[in-house]
Amino acid sequence: MPALDVLQTVPAFAYLIPILLLFGFGTTVGLVASVIFAFPPMVRNTICGLRAVPDSIVESGQMSGANAWQLFWQVRTPSALRQILLGVNQATMASLSMVIVASIIGGTSDIGWEVIRTMRKAQFGESTLAGIVIAMIAMIMDRITSGLALKSGRSFSGEEDKIKSRKLSMMLVFIAIAITLLAQEIPFLAGWPEGYVFDVAPAINQAVGDFIAEYNAQIRSVKNTIFFFAMLPIKSGMETVVTPYS
C-alpha cells in the first residue's frame, strides 16, 4: 500500500526521465508511463473488493467443499467483481489523464500531441477542439466501464439468457463484418465524407482575437487592479513586514 501511495503522489513528469532512460522513446514508452500512473487505483480497488467479501459467502463456499483455487476464483472473485471493475474504470480514467504527458515522450501523431502542438503555436481553437475530443473519449469510456461495473453481479442470467446473448453477439460480429465489406464499395462507410467536415477552430480563434481586441482595456484594468491591490501588497508584506529584521 505505501508503494501505491508513492506511485500515485510522485508527479508524472518526475518518472518520465527514468522511463526514457530504461525503455527508450516512442508510443510504447507512453504506454508504460500510463500503466505506472494508472495501475495503483486498480490494485487498490482489487484489494478492497477481495477484503470486503462477506464471511458468509466464503463460508458457504467452504461448506460446499471448495478447494483453495475454487474458493478464490469461483467464490471470492465473482463477489468482488463489481469493485474490481470499478478499479478498471478508475484505471481507464487515470490513463486518459496521461494522454498529453505521455505524448511528450512518445507522441508523433496522436491526440495528446495534437494538443501540445497547437498549444505551442497558440492556436486556441485547434487545441480546444483536441481537448474536447480527449474529454469525450474519457466520458464515453467512463460511462461504458462504470456501466459494466454496475451491471456485474446485479443480475443473475439463466441458461436461456446466456444462449440469447451469445446469439446476439454473433449477430453483431456478423453486422460489423458486413459493414466492413460494404465499405469497400461505398466510400461513405469507409471514410468520413468531406462534405460533413466543419472546422470551427478558425471561428473560435477569430472570436477570441476579437474579444481580446475589443475588451483589451477592461481585461488590463482587471489584471492591474488585482496585481496592485492584492498581489503586490501580499508580496511586499511577506518580504518586509513579517520578520523584525528584514
Partner 1 sequence: MNNLSEKPAVIWSVTVGILFLTILLRDNFSWLDEYPKALTVPVTESLNASMAWFASSFGWIFKAVTWLLDWPIKGAQVLLQFLPWTVTLFITCVLAYRASGCDWLFNRHFGFLL
Q: Which residues bind partner 1 (CB under 8 A)?
A: 18, 21-24, 26-29, 31-32, 140, 143-148, 150-151, 154-155, 164-165, 167-168, 171-172, 175-176, 179-180, 183, 189-192, 243-245
Contact present, 151 and 85 (Cβ < 8 Å): no
Cell numbers 462534405 correspond to 195
Contact present, 132 and 44 (Cβ < 8 Å): no
For the CA atoms of the chain, what is the radius of gyration?
Answer: 27
Alpha-carbon span 118 to 129, nearest angstrom:
10
Q: Give 53 or 129: the residue with its C-beta nearer to partner 1.
A: 129
Q: Give 71 or 153: the residue with its C-beta nearer to partner 1.
A: 153
Q: How far is the CB of 139 from partner 1 (least distance, A)?
A: 11
Q: How far is the CB of 13 from partner 1 (least distance, A)?
A: 16
Q: Give 67 or 246: the residue with its C-beta nearer to partner 1.
A: 246
Under DSSP, the state recorded for 14 is G
Q: Give 132 or 140: the residue with its C-beta nearer to partner 1.
A: 140
Alpha-carbon span 207 to 213, nearest angstrom:
10
* Angle at which helices 99-106 and 16-23 cross, to 10°: 40
Contact present, 89 and 172 (Cβ < 8 Å): no
Which is nearest to 208 in space by CA: 115, 116, 125, 114?
Answer: 125
Q: How far is the CB of 169 from partner 1 (least distance, A)?
A: 9
Label residue 65 left, alpha or beta by phi (over 0 means left) and psi (-120 to 50 means alpha): left
Q: Give 69 or 192: the residue with its C-beta nearer to partner 1.
A: 192
Q: How far is the CB of 99 from partner 1 (least distance, A)?
A: 14
Q: Give 190 or 208: the residue with its C-beta nearer to partner 1.
A: 190
* Angle at which helices 111-120 and 124-151 cross, to 10°: 150
Q: How far is the CB of 43 from partner 1 (least distance, A)?
A: 19
Q: How far is the CB of 53 from partner 1 (least distance, A)?
A: 23
Which is nearest to 101 in space by CA: 19, 221, 174?
Answer: 19
Alpha-carbon span 34 to 102, nearest angstrom:
7
Q: How far is the CB of 190 from partner 1 (least distance, A)?
A: 5
Q: Give 55 or 159: the residue with its C-beta nearer to partner 1.
A: 159
